[in-house]
Amino acid sequence: MSVEPHRDRAALEAADHHLIRYGGTFLPFVADRAEGSFVYDSGGRAILDFTSGQMSAILGHSHPEIVDVVTETIARLDHLFSGMLSRPVIELGEALGNLAPGLSKVLLLSTGAESNEAALRMARLVTGGWEVVGFSQSWHGMTGAAASATYSGMFQSSRQPQILWTKRPRMAAPWRVCVTSG
Ligand SMILES: Cc1ncc(COP(=O)(O)O)c(C=O)c1O
């Protein structure tokens, strides 16, 4: 195993030319694989991953049980329109909904930012209010409302609301298929 960082120069240069990241720069290595608590670069260097409290990383990268479930599931049902139900989704909703008394319903989303968007909308719906307190150094994600509540990094200097107010002209949608039950 090499001790020095393995710099995949061509890949890092390509990343520099073609990838955008808001809120900071990419780390100067190319991750090749990950296992347990470590990420490995293309030279085989093991990097202890202190960054990931997100997704399955909290259980260790490439946890064998998660790999099995994902592999089996993607071969059976890889992606559905969000209006369609599948048994794993219903069962996950049921399991999560039974965890917290009085909170039996679950809104399944993909990212932290989406979850915070939903939380902000729900709070506005329930309270009828519109102001949000965002702590200094907070990070809530890069979508409109989540970024508006974020007071960290590049947002620190801006005191302006970040959400864009857009006009919404009516659009015809002749391609929409009407699915009725019964
Ligand atoms: C505390 C916190 N909230 C929200 C987010 C946004 O999550 P995501 O990047 O999945 O949208 C992050 C991501 O780092 C986070 O650390």
Highest mean pLDDT pick, 1-10, 58-67, 93-102: 93-102
Give residues with Cβ within 8 angstroms of 23, minimum separation 6. 142, 153, 154
We report the CATH number of the domain holding residue 22 as 3.90.1150.10
- How many domains, in total, are found in the chain? 3
Beta bridge pairs of residue 40: 33, 46
Please check whether residues 119 and 66 belong to one and the same domain: no
Q: Is 134 in the pocket of ligand 1 (CB under 6 A)?
A: no
Task: Give domain status of residue 169, yes or no.
Answer: no
- Calculate how far, in angstroms, residue 114's C-alpha sits from the geometric centre of ligand 1: 9
- Report field, pTM of the whole predicted structure over 0.85: no
Same domain, 114 and 64: no
Nearest protein Cα to ligand 1, atom 4: 140
Q: What is the pLDDT of residue 82?
A: 87
Do 14 and 58 belong together in one domain?
A: yes
pLDDT in tens, 38-82: 999 988 999 998 886 666 567 889 999 989 999 999 999 998 998
CA of 152 to the centre of ligand 1 (A): 12
Strand partners, 38: 35, 48
For the CA of 114, the nearest atom of ligand 1: 11
pLDDT at 2 over 50: no
**pLDDT higher for 153 or 99?**
99
Would the CB of 149 count as within 6 Å of ligand 1? no
